[in-house]
């Protein structure tokens, strides 16, 4: 049995350093029966070396160690126990908190430092791991702090030697990836980069999609494009463009030359219809696969075990193309005059009505009766306001819906009913631009200051990071948009409250709701 804190303090003996793409070669060459290693999360990217390692060794224990060192931007580490003997099960453990209370922004200089203290929660987590190794009895996890899982060795994927992939919440997606007919995107489509023309020397101005915002449907090329620099990729009907974290399908040919923005990827379907790829890439399943593959690196950065977009796993479609075309038309032409809805299909026609259906049918709430009734009333009002172009009211209601969801969510996480109890505001360090913590790394709360919506967003972001970082940013955008209705902001020319603003807010709100039941 290994003393994990001793391994950390003797890091030079156990850390698997990356060196010219040969991270694990020395262990392969030494050929010992087993190794206990401290592996930086960054090293999971070195697939070639990992592949060679697991041709000879098997994973027995795989535990997150969080940011156990100072000196490398809080990079998380893992504990690996690998052996030539093949096990029946693999032990995994995940921690959702930092190992120490320090925010370390020093650049890596070749020497790591041991912090002078670790949090009590982290020390308990390590103690439970060591007890599990010694007694072979899996400890109970603590919700939102850490969790343990025991998987069959047959379920371990050598290309994904990262504990978070094996969380219980990812069981469904892992089972899907094992059993469904799945191929990488590159087998169904060509994926090409839109790059600068002539090395960036050609500054011709053309009509282009906006690199910062996907158009909304129904798509009108003449109105939903911008003047931009020319790129190498001219767009045509059927092209799918990755714009930020969204995919947009060009569903009609324009009367002018339209280009993809530089730095974006264009997907051109070959053996499936583009409508299917668009629906799949924007689906909850695809987002959950993305979250399952996400690996925290340093501070708030992350990478994906799934590799490039070309390698992204796509489920082979089971239905006829016409089915996916009709489903896409319901999105791309929300006015029902443009298509016929079969009688057995839903009568959902617009973005805001689809929001109501998803809320009522899918989301599970902690304070079920109270919150669901409130949200249902707000959603019905939102639909009425949006349909009647009452855009200020729409923004207020969207913010109210989100606030109710987040208060309910934090109530479930903490086991405290914040609809009745008061959440206090955290104390903020304006100089270092971060929340203040005590000697144990716990946040300091102000006795007489009530938390506002921004605080609820930050509380859940810190509990759910890194998975919820993007949603937290979008939640703050909804809060900012809601604040546009204030009189002083309404007087500013830059504060536009219109249909586009409301569509943007509702899109963000849908993603936040989906993250609540993911």
- Tens of pLDDT, residue by residue over 386-396, are 777 788 888 88
Whether 74 and 298 have beta carbons less than 8 Å apart is answered as yes
Q: Which of 139, 157, 159, 158 lies closest to 149, judged by CA?
A: 139
- The conformation of residue 214, written as its DSSP 8-state character, comes to P
Range ranked top by mean pLDDT from 98-112, 158-172, 384-398: 158-172
- Percent of the chain at pLDDT exceeding 90: 30
Predicted pLDDT at 281: 92
324 preceded by a cis bond (ω within 30 of 0) = no
| The dihedral formed by the CA atoms of 95, 99, 105 and 106, expressed in degrees to the nearest 10 | -120
Mean pLDDT along residues 311-322: 91
The pLDDT value recorded for residue 78 is 93
Does position 234 have pLDDT exceeding 90, yes or no? Answer: yes
Q: How deeply is 138 buried, as exposed, middle or buried, from its count of CB atoms within 10 A (0-12, 13-18, 19+)? A: middle
Chain segment 329-346, per-residue pLDDT in tens = 888 875 433 333 333 333
**pLDDT at residue 349 is higher than 50:** no
Q: Which two tokens stand for residue 200?
A: 């960036």
pLDDT surpassing 70 at residue 354 = no
pLDDT at residue 100 above 50?
Answer: yes
CATH dotted code for 350-517: 1.20.120
Give residue 489's pLDDT band: very low, low, confident or very high (50, 70, 90).
very low
Residues 94, 316: contact at Cβ < 8 Å? no
Token pair recorded at residue 238: 């059927």
Identify whether the C-beta of residue 425 lies closer than 8 Å to the C-beta of residue 452.
Answer: yes
Q: What is the pLDDT of residue 517?
A: 65
The Cα 31–Cα 455 span in angstroms is 52
For residue 129, the model assigns a pLDDT of 95
Percent of the chain with pLDDT over 70: 84
Lowest-confidence region among 166-175, 347-356, 477-486: 347-356
Higher local confidence (pLDDT), 75 or 205: 205
Residue 352: pLDDT band by 50, 70, 90 thresholds? Answer: very low
Average pLDDT over residues 461-467: 83
Residue 460 sits at φ, ψ, to 5 deg, of -70, -35
* 21 — pLDDT class (breaks 50, 70, 90): low
Phi, psi of 10 (to 5 degrees): -100, 40
pLDDT reported for residue 247: 92
CA dist 24 and 323 (Å) reads 48
Q: Is 268 helix (H, G, I), strand (E, B) or coil?
A: strand
Specify the pLDDT at position 314.
Answer: 93
Over range 85-108, report the average pLDDT.
81
Give the residue range(s) of CATH 1.20.120 domains in the chain. 350-517
Question: What pLDDT is stored for residue 378 in this prediction?
Answer: 77
Residue 269 has pLDDT above 90, yes or no: yes
**Residue 245 in this model has a pLDDT that exceeds 50:** yes
Could you read off the pLDDT of 416-446 as tens digits, one per residue?
888 778 888 888 777 776 778 877 777 787 7
List the Cα angle 8/13/15 in 5-degree steps.
Answer: 65
Q: Which residue has the higher pLDDT, 290 or 63?
A: 63
Highest average pLDDT, of 72-81, 246-255, 354-363, 402-411, comes from 246-255
Omega before 218 within 30 of 0, i.e. cis:
yes
Please tell me what DSSP assigns to residue 283: S
DSSP H helical ranges for 309-452: 321-332, 351-362, 368-387, 391-414
Is the pLDDT at 218 greater than 50? The verdict is yes
Work out the average pLDDT over 119-143: 91
Q: Is the pLDDT of residue 246 over 80?
A: yes
- Give span(s): CATH 3.90.220, the chain: 185-281+307-332
Q: Using CA atoms in the order 331, 333, 334, 337, what is the torsion angle rounded to 10 degrees?
A: -140
Mean confidence (pLDDT) of the chain: 81
The residue among 246 and 195 whose pLDDT is bigger is 195
* Token pair recorded at residue 517: 């039941």
pLDDT at 233: 95
Neighbouring residues of 107: CB distance < 8 A, sequence distance ≥ 6: 73
Of 45-49, 240-244, 317-321, 447-451, the poorest mean pLDDT is in: 45-49
Q: Please state the rounded mean pLDDT for residues 31-52.
A: 82
* Residue 293 vs residues 162, 173, 314, 339, 468: alpha-carbon distances, Å: 9, 10, 14, 38, 14
pLDDT tier for residue 356 given thresholds of 50, 70 and 90: low
How many residues are given for the chain? 518
Question: Roughly how many angstroms between the first and final C-alpha of the chain, as a whole number?
Answer: 36
- Residue 431: the pLDDT is 74
Give the pLDDT score at 369.
Answer: 58
Q: At residue 39, does pLDDT exceed 60?
A: yes
What is residue 108's predicted lDDT score, i.e. its pLDDT? 47
Quickly state the pLDDT bin for 126 (edges 50, 70, 90).
very high
DSSP 166: G
Rounded to an integer, the average pLDDT of 194-223 is 87
Does the pLDDT value for residue 364 go beyond 70? Answer: no
Structure tokens given for 12: 């030079």
Integer-rounded Cα Rg, in Å, for the chain is 25
Fold of 185-281+307-332: Adenine-n6-DNA-methyltransferase TaqI; Chain A, domain 2 (3.90.220)
Strands 205-208 and 258-259: parallel
Residue 295 CA to residue 297 CA, distance in Å, equals 6
């Amino acid at each position: 049995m290994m003393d994990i804190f001793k391994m950390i303090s003797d890091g030079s003996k156990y850390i698997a350093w990356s060196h010219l793409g040969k991270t694990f070669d020395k262990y392969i060459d030494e050929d010992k029966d087993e190794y206990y290693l401290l592996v930086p999360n960054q090293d999971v990217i070195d697939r070639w070396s990992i592949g060679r390692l697991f041709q000879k060794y098997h994973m027995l224990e795989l535990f997150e160690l969080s940011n156990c060192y100072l000196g490398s931007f809080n990079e998380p580490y893992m504990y690996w126990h690998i052996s030539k003997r093949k096990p029946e099960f693999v032990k995994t453990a995940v921690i959702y908190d930092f190992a120490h209370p320090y925010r370390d922004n020093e650049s890596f200089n070749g020497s790591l430092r041991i912090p002078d203290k670790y949090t009590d929660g982290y020390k308990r987590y390590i103690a439970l791991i060591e007890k599990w190794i010694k007694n072979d009895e899996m400890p109970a996890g603590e919700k939102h702090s850490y969790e343990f899982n025991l998987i069959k060795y047959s379920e371990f994927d050598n290309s994904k030697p990262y504990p978070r992939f094996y969380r219980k919440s990812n069981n469904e997606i892992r089972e899907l990836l094992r059993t469904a007919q799945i191929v990488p995107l590159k087998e169904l489509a060509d994926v090409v980069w839109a790059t600068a023309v002539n090395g960036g020397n050609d500054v011709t101005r053309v009509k282009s999609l906006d690199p910062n915002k996907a158009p909304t449907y129904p798509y009108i090329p003449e109105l939903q494009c911008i003047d931009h620099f020319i790129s190498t990729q001219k767009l045509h009907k059927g092209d799918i463009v990755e714009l930020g974290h969204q995919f947009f399908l060009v569903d009609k040919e324009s009367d002018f030359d339209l280009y993809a923005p530089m730095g974006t990827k264009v997907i051109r379907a070959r053996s499936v219809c583009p409508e299917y790829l668009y629906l799949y890439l924007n689906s909850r399943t695809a987002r959950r696969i993305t979250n399952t593959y996400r690996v925290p690196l340093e501070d708030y950065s992350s990478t994906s075990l799934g590799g490039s977009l070309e390698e992204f796993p796509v489920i082979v479609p089971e239905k006829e193309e016409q089915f996916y075309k009709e489903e896409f038309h319901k999105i791309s032409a929300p006015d029902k005059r443009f298509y016929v809805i079969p009688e057995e299909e839903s009568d959902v026609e617009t973005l805001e009505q689809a929001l109501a259906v998803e809320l009522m049918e899918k989301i599970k709430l902690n304070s079920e009766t109270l919150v669901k009734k409130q949200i249902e009333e707000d959603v019905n009002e939102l639909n009425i306001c949006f349909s009647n172009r009452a855009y200020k009211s729409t923004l207020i209601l969207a913010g109210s819906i989100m606030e109710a969801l987040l208060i309910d969510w934090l109530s479930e996480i903490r086991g405290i009913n914040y609809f009745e109890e008061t959440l206090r505001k955290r104390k903020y360090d304006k100089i270092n631009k971060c929340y203040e913590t005590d000697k144990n790394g716990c946040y300091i709360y102000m006795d007489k200051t009530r938390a506002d919506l921004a605080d609820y967003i930050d509380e859940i972001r810190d509990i759910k990071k890194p998975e919820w970082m993007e949603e937290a940013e979008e939640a703050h955008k909804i809060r900012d948009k809601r604040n546009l209705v204030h009189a002083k902001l309404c007087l500013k020319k830059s504060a536009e409250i219109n249909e586009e603003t409301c569509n943007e807010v509702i899109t963000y709100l849908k993603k936040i709701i989906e993250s609540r039941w993911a």
